[in-house]
Amino acid sequence: MIATRLPHGHPVRVDFDGGRLELTEADAPADEGVWVGPGWVDVQVNGFAGVDANDPATEPDAYARMTAALRARGVTRYLPTVITADLPRMAASLAAAVRACAAEPDVADAVPGLHLEGPFVSPEDGARGAHAAAFVRAADTAVFDDLQAAAGGRIRVLTLAPEVPGALELIAHAAGQGVVVALGHTNADAATIAAAVDAGARLSTHLGNGTAAMLPRHDNVIWTQLGEPRLTASAIFDGHHLPPAVMRVFAAVKGPERLVLTSDAVALAGMPPGVYRQPVGGEVELLASGRLTLRGTPYLAGSASSLADGVAHAVRDAGVAVEDAWAMVSTTPARLLGLEERGDLTLALVAPDGVRVLGTRVAGRAAAT
């Protein structure tokens, strides 16, 4: 039995007995900084702990290792994310995730769907980000349907740029299937973003990143999406992708009900610092700070963060209350994805120098400690 707190901030005692959870009012102060609350949900995971969701050769046992590594860091459910590549490779990567769900019960339990990021993104430098220019293409409902078929109907989020030809038609088509359509890697104007939301878009993918380096002062893709009340925003609060002032603005404008923190992690997340060679990007260096750069440059080569980093930076750098930061990684993404409540829990120590996950429970059973 432990003294701790749920994310409403009230001290409680938690007792796990044969899978059954019992909560009672604590008769003593909670352990300093120890919190327990709904399990964390990451809507964008390209890879983790050396496992790459964009490698068609990734085997089910590798997905099981990735799932275990994520749960050890507080994530009870996540969306493997496949990004722009040639269409056969994208289809094969989606199919690999489906095979893992069929072969590994823990993977099936942790993966409620897949995130397709591309290939319908902006072809412009900056907005395109790390997506390979050779494989970026106009939006096409038939291509999407083929990829959805390869995914066994499990694509749950689709990120696209609303300004590419055919995008509005595809947004309506995918949204009509229950897919959460997100705007990302885009340089769309305000009218196009409004039209995309009218067509069914509901999310901004890693707002503030995947944009051109130089933007108009006021009328730009970040402010327009930030000011659109019908859009929930996802953001990478890892201390590298967004400066503290931007994190504070995003948190203040969207609030815990419309801001989702994501890791957008790549396969090197969770790995030791060092120099690595990636299939995309060549030699990269993972620093002790968690910053992943193209070796010898200051440029980011992806995210090596976890949701624990997001919670830590939201609290420390953006001034977000712990209970609100917790919502941004749990109930808010779960509601966005339409996930049922099943009693998943994450237990973490939230301290000034960071967040340390102490364990997770999935549907009443211990998953990681």
Q: Output the pLDDT for position 3.
A: 44
Residue 123 lies in a domain: yes
Residue 339 contacts residue 332 (beta carbons within 8 Å): no
Residue-number span of the structural domain to which 70 is assigned: 37-368
Name the pLDDT band for 8 (thresholds 50, 70, 90). low
Residue 2 lies in a domain: no
CA angle (251 as vertex; 46, 230 as ends), nearest 5: 80
Residue 359 lies in a domain: yes
Residue 319 lies in a domain: yes
Domain of 67, CATH number, reads: 3.20.20.140
Q: What is the pTM (predicted TM-score) of this model? A: 0.93
User: What whole-number distance in Å separates Cα of residue 87 and Cα of residue 22?
Assistant: 49
Q: Which helix (H) or strand (E) holds 254?
A: helix 244-258
223 CB contacts (<8 Å, ≥6 apart)?
A: none
Residue 162 lies in a domain: yes
The catalytic position among 238, 264, 324, 344 is: 264
Question: How many domains are there within the chain?
Answer: 1
Residue 85 lies in a domain: yes
Question: Is-catalytic flag, 264?
Answer: yes
Residue 32 lies in a domain: no
Name the pLDDT band for 300 (thresholds 50, 70, 90). confident
Q: Which helix (H) or strand (E) holds 21?
A: strand 20-25
Average pLDDT, the chain: 91
Percentage, residues of the chain above pLDDT 70: 90
Residue 10 lies in a domain: no
